[in-house]
Structure 1
Amino acid sequence: MTIVQVIPLVYGFGPYEKYNHNVTTDIVREVNRLKLARGIVFDVRFDSNQFIAALERYQPKVIIGIGQHPRARKIRIERRARNWHESACSTGKPIESCGPEFRYASLKIPTTEETTVTYNAGAYLCNYSMYLMCREAERMKAKYAFLHVPIHVDIQRIIELFKTVLGR
């Protein structure tokens, strides 16, 4: 009998716009180093294929996305993604033409003094990925959460939060 181990997936993003470094890359690197989950750094582009391909390849049952939020003072637990995205090349359009207005995270992240819960994942790539991943997680019967982190976040605090959520 073959036992297949299902490994959680944690993803972040590469550099974007005026930010030559994205702290989520460091977080993903640490997740991989500690073998807490499979960590992936996605390119900063509105391409649903990169997200869906990773899910199809790894078939995770737990998915956590992380994005850098330059104005955040605390770790933001994003509960909802909106069916809308904007970019430097677009004035805005639905992510999914016939999709619901909102999709919700299904993985509960514990709140602490260092976190805040929000219902607005923005209008750019973090919201875009969250909306798609919520849809795909539901289809796959997986749990999903998204966090926005401050640029100068203590990476070890994020790692401890992940350990708690992932039961490690």
Structure 2
Amino acid sequence: MTRTLLLTGFGRFPGAAHNPTADLVRDLIRRRRPALAGVRIVGHVFETRWDAVDRDLPALLARETPDVIVLLGVATRADRVRLELVARNRNTVLFPDAGGARSPVTSIAPGAPFLSRGRFPVARLAAALRQAGIAPAVSRNAGGYLCNYSYWRALEAADRPGGPRRVVFVHVPPLHRLGRGGRVASRRRHVARERARLVAALEQLIVAAARSR
């Protein structure tokens, strides 16, 4: 039985002046379904910085002891929601974080395997998204930036005694990529509709993750 679910997103970073996952976390925290009765949902938006993840994630895990973690990130070139099957044991040293820092190392955990598998029922979560009108892609490449890094660190926590039993990473596309042509006002209305549709679909995913054994 899930008691606490940690839901995270990220703030802005170079190349993404606005990160939709921060808004999605806030929207989802405000929506509570009867299916989640008895589940405490804790929301957190990371600064998109290596040191922020290293500081905030261990503190959240120690303080909240979540049974389930759902991490959200934006994939700036994607046009579909992606369920990330694995985290990779690598960091990019090319791209700075929101504070201008670059990762000093290419391996997150030297000597560890290259891949760490997510802890979630893929078919069940994909079905939850489809039932809400979102056809997800299944991905084996969460990148080498902060999304992949936070996923790896959360999966490390799942391997420890008493750690979370479910860890899910979901990449969403930038909402402006889902907008259509036409007048600015029309595009804004469309993006607002897509945001509402994403929130409803992610809510179904959260329910499925929380209720899975």
Range class of TM-score, shorter chain: 0.7 to 0.9
- Superposition deviation, residue 143 in structure 1: 1.2
Separation of aligned partners in 1, 2:72 and 2:140: 15
Partner of 1:100: 113
Separation of aligned partners in 2, 1:141 and 1:45: 23
Q: Which runs of 5+ in 1 are unaligned?
A: none
Separation of aligned partners in 2, 1:131 and 1:115: 21
Partner of 2:69: 63
1:162 partnered with 2:162: no
What's the TM-score once normalised by structure 1's chain length?
Answer: 0.87
Structure showing the higher helix proportion among its residues: 2
Percent identity over paired residues: 31
Partner of 1:126: 147
Partner of 1:6: 3
Separation of aligned partners in 1, 2:24 and 2:56: 19
SS across alignment from 1:85? coil
- Superposition deviation, residue 166 in structure 1: 2.5
Aligned length: 163
Separation of aligned partners in 1, 2:6 and 2:164: 14
After the TM superposition, which residues 136-155 of structure 1 pair with which residues of structure 2 at under 5 Å, given as runs? 136-139=157-160, 140-152=163-175, 154-155=198-199
Q: Which runs of 5+ in 2 are unaligned?
A: 97-101, 176-194
* Letter matched to residue 169 of structure 2: F
Separation of aligned partners in 2, 1:69 and 1:22: 10
What's the TM-score once normalised by structure 2's chain length?
Answer: 0.70
CA deviations 1:126-163 (Å, max 9, x no partner) are 01111111111221152101000011153322223223
Of structures 1 and 2, the larger Rg is shown by 2
SS across alignment from 1:32? helix
- Superposition deviation, residue 108 in structure 1: 1.9
1:83 partnered with 2:109: no
Structure 1 runs of 4+ with >6 Å offset: none
Separation of aligned partners in 2, 1:75 and 1:31: 16
Separation of aligned partners in 2, 1:60 and 1:141: 6
In 1, are the aligned partners of 2:16 and 2:76 still within 8 Å (CA)? no
In 2, are the aligned partners of 1:45 and 1:125 still within 8 Å (CA)? yes
After the TM superposition, which residues 21-60 of structure 1 pair with which residues of structure 2 at under 5 Å, given as runs? 21-35=18-32, 37-47=41-51, 48-60=54-66
Q: Which moved more, 1:145-154 or 1:156-165?
A: 156-165
RMSD in angstroms over aligned alpha carbons? 2.0
* Letter matched to residue 69 of structure 2: I
Structure showing the higher strand proportion among its residues: 1
User: Judging changes above 3 Å, is the alpha-carbon distance between structure 1 residues 149 and 99 closer, same or farther for their aligned structure 2 residues?
Assistant: same
